[in-house]
Structure 1
Amino acid sequence: MSTSSQYDVVIVGGGSAGITVAAHLQQSDRAPESIAIIEPSDTHYYQPIWTLVGAGVFDKEISERPMAEFIPEGVTWIQDYAETFDPDANTVSTQSGDTIEYNYLVVAPGIQLDWDGIPGLADAVADPRSGVVSNYAYEYCEDTWDTMQTLQPGDSAVFTQPATPIKCGGAPQKIMYLTADHLRKRGILDDVSVQFYTPGTVIFGVEKFARTLRDVVDRYGIDVHLHSELVEIRPDTNEAVIRGTGGGDSAPGERVVSYDMLHVTPPQSAPDFIKESPLSNDEGWVDVHKHTLQHNTYDNIFSLGDASSTPNAKTGAAVRKQAPTVVHNLLQLMHDGEITAPKEYHGYSSCPLVTGYGKLVLAEFDYDNEPDPTFSFDTSQERYSMYALKAYGLPQMYWHGMLRGRA
């Protein structure tokens, strides 16, 4: 039996963005009278730690907590899937058939992993014996470590990045550097072929950090192929089909690469229910102003996080800066009827690039790919202190600070 309910603010998504916005709203001295989060999952994951799970540093269970622990007190949790939007009627319909009415809507459902976007990937990554692994899912990230340990002299370890936007753009490289460092520790790095295929034109988009990464690549002897994209996996023969775009040293057309370990970053996109909604732009993302995060058509709708159209790198650090922007502008609109003094987001994102066990380059930058540092020292250099920050400091800040509206 379907039901109808109404709230001042409805938040679609209980991930990093949705929970953080709810916490900030609830703590405001101008907090809305009623807030609801539509989120189907029982479990909340701290996904950035999956890189270190895949490298054998942590068990994957360290990344999960019950969702109920993080729904702010006083916020209604609607444990269901959002399915359709009617922004003219100010309603969201859920998979169970309920209609949720809102005065203001925050859309933050995250990004969709398109495992079927590469032929052969979905079946191969689900088989822990295939050699095909990915740190992009809780159920698969420990397979990376198991497979890494099986590499022997004469083997090939292949790492790929898709042409689509992805969450944590540095993740395809982080596990590659950790794998190379693992092989170095075992004394077989020179005897294993480590290869990276990316459709990108450079190793990293901010030159200050790219300089260090080129040195890291040289140190490990990694064979980097720019302008190159994985388009098919043949798990029966342990072959990856790579398509070159013809840029740089990449010849146009397809070639076949053999692998013993293949780490795949799956293609990604906005969730289907967002793509099919009136909220999306031509590329399928929630269509918002890149500074105010207000929808470009519907004034009472805001969006942040991976599903929004903002052209920043899709990271949790970006969400940490976006959430206060959404809350400030939403509350001003709610109480004043217009946004007269908008808070603006300028594309800040952070990519903690692990370059080996105990080594990390902290890349922070804005919409213009200009460095936007938090620290006064040069974080483009590999440092143990920044590695410790990622491994131990940032998870605590996430669970006890960001999701509680304190950071």
Structure 2
Amino acid sequence: MNTAQRRHDVVIIGGGSAGISMAASLHRRRHSLDIAIIEPSERHCYQPGWTMVGGGVFSLAETIKPMTSVMPEHVTWYRAEARAFRPDEDQVELSDGTILGYQRLVVAPGLELNWDAVEGLSETLGTNGVTSNYHPDTAPYTWQLIQNLKSGTALFSQPPMPIKCAGAPQKAMYLACDHWMRQGVLGSMDVHFKNAGGVMFGVPDYVPALERYVERYHIHKDFQQNLIAVNGPAKKATFRDLSVEGEERFIECRFDMLHAVPPQRAPAFVRESVLANEAGWLDLDSETLQHPRYPRIFGLGDVSGTANAKTAAAVRKQVPVVADNLLASLDNQPLTAAYYGYGSCPLTVERGRIVLAEFGYGGQLQPTFPKWINDGTQPTRLAWMLKARYLPYIYWHGMLKGHEWLVKPGRRNAA
């Protein structure tokens, strides 16, 4: 057994929205905590803004800041990657060989975009009409393609679940179609939604509004078609037809524009560890967000194996739950804070209107506002204002600073 070179009260893996918010919230609750963050990146990204970058609403610069500008002053920052867990020794090994000890560990490294799972995608991404709002370097290219395309075939792919922000693939499609309609060229476009799943959206209450926009934009719904290969120079995409079990059928499509979304998975050091569930995601109790076998470990964010939507809005609700329960754990008290699976997906169905989908475990609706203020099942201008104007401010100046507005944890019966 190796001895830890440094020890901290709380070690947080990840300096994204979950990790930074977690450190800030813990510090607000208990100033005396010695907190460390493991994060190799030198920049911090507001990823929910990339859909708006791809739609010509935000600039990329608005969504990216130096990590130094958001890293809390009260934490010790290790500019390295987490490499291995040693939960029996309460230790984490870093990529530079450092071994950190902890009293409590928070695992929040996000997920991994598996671009190489689609043959040819990495090589052609950002060229030949192939783009993705899931990559900051190509989100501006999405808007460039939308502006330049006056006719032809546009494909929008969606891989099998789970993925971060499950509505993002069709958000890109709606904003593109809205622009083409405003420019009077939509009639010359052949638009296809190539979805590996079998429905427009996983929560039925929001589907009728989305279907109206599908009809309005004359979008072809091609369900159970999974993107497996892209030939950029030839402008061809290959999809595996998932509609018939036991058969391997492939569909080849020519395109002028392809918005591709890669399959997604937990980082290797999580999915190949003893902390992972059978699907390779971080194993957590769905309410307390505590690891079921290693009670000194908590987790949140996109790496989680819980059944909620993987969104920044989910992180906002998860942070106070983990903060409360982690401190209760340190104090040998029962864990009473509960997370009920809240996630939000602001579906940008047109420039100026959004269907604000808010739901929890099992598709249960969990609206923030009363229906008379904002009916989340219908497109509204208020929801657009929230997404375009207020949420970025709340993110940079509220959530990352430990302010917890409208995110009071649920309560569970202590067992």
Into which bin does the TM-score normalised by the smaller protein fall?
A: over 0.9
Please state how far the C-alpha of 1:236 moved relative to its aligned partner: 2.5
Pairs within 5 Å for 1:224-373: 224-246=221-243, 253-335=249-331, 337-338=332-333, 340-373=334-367
User: Deviation string for 1:238-267 (max 9, x for gaps)?
Assistant: 11111111269xx97111111000000111
Q: Measure, in 2, the Cα distance between the counterparts of 1:342 and 1:129.
A: 51
Please state how far the C-alpha of 1:268 moved relative to its aligned partner: 0.6
Residue 152 of structure 1 corresponds to: 150
Gaps of 5+ in 2: 405-415
Q: Does 1:192 align with 2:189?
A: yes
Matched AA of 1:375: F
Q: Measure, in 1, the Cα distance between the counterparts of 2:22 and 2:203.
A: 29
Please state how far the C-alpha of 1:318 moved relative to its aligned partner: 0.4
Q: Does 1:64 align with 2:64?
A: yes
Please state how far the C-alpha of 1:69 moved relative to its aligned partner: 2.0
Residue 106 of structure 1 corresponds to: 106
Q: Measure, in 2, the Cα distance between the counterparts of 1:341 and 1:114.
A: 35
Pairs within 5 Å for 1:22-37: 22-28=23-29, 30-37=30-37
What number of residue pairs does the alignment pair up? 398
Residue 409 of structure 2 corresponds to: none
Matched AA of 2:376: T
Pairs within 5 Å for 1:125-204: 125=125, 128-153=126-151, 155-204=152-201
Please state how far the C-alpha of 1:52 moved relative to its aligned partner: 0.9
User: Deviation string for 1:100-125 (max 9, x for gaps)?
Assistant: 11111000000101010100110110
* Contact kept in structure 2, 1:354 and 1:387, CA below 8 Å: yes
Query: What's the secondary structure of 1:129's corresponding residue?
Result: coil
Matched AA of 2:280: G
Q: Does 1:43 align with 2:39?
A: no
Residue 401 of structure 2 corresponds to: 404
Matched AA of 2:141: D
Matched AA of 1:157: A
Matched AA of 1:342: T
Q: Measure, in 2, the Cα distance between the counterparts of 1:390 and 1:286.
A: 29
Q: Measure, in 1, the Cα distance between the counterparts of 2:141 and 2:91.
A: 42
* Contact kept in structure 1, 2:50 and 2:133, CA below 8 Å: yes
Q: Measure, in 1, the Cα distance between the counterparts of 2:303 and 2:89.
A: 22
Q: Measure, in 2, the Cα distance between the counterparts of 1:392 and 1:120.
A: 37
* Contact kept in structure 2, 1:159 and 1:172, CA below 8 Å: yes
* Contact kept in structure 2, 1:26 and 1:72, CA below 8 Å: no
* Contact kept in structure 1, 2:230 and 2:237, CA below 8 Å: yes
Q: Does 1:376 align with 2:370?
A: yes
Q: Which moved more, 1:376-385 or 1:291-300?
A: 376-385
Q: Aligned in 2, Cα 1:36/1:402: closer, same or farther, shift over 3 Å?
A: same
Q: Measure, in 2, the Cα distance between the counterparts of 1:74 and 1:380.
A: 42
Query: What's the secondary structure of 2:92's corresponding residue?
Result: strand
Query: What's the secondary structure of 2:361's corresponding residue?
Result: coil
Question: Structure 1 length as normaliser, TM-score?
Answer: 0.95
Please state how far the C-alpha of 1:59 moved relative to its aligned partner: 1.3
* Contact kept in structure 1, 2:157 and 2:259, CA below 8 Å: yes
Runs of 4+ in structure 1 over 6 Å off: none
Matched AA of 1:391: A
User: Deviation string for 1:76-109 (max 9, x for gaps)?
Assistant: 1111111111111111111111111111100000
Gaps of 5+ in 1: none
Q: Measure, in 2, the Cα distance between the counterparts of 1:46 and 1:247.
A: 39
**CA RMSD across the alignment:** 1.5
* Contact kept in structure 2, 1:70 and 1:403, CA below 8 Å: yes
Question: Structure 2 length as normaliser, TM-score?
Answer: 0.93
Q: Aligned in 2, Cα 1:159/1:214: closer, same or farther, shift over 3 Å?
A: same
Percent of aligned positions that are identical:
44
* Contact kept in structure 1, 2:22 and 2:323, CA below 8 Å: yes
Q: Measure, in 1, the Cα distance between the counterparts of 2:132 and 2:285.
A: 33
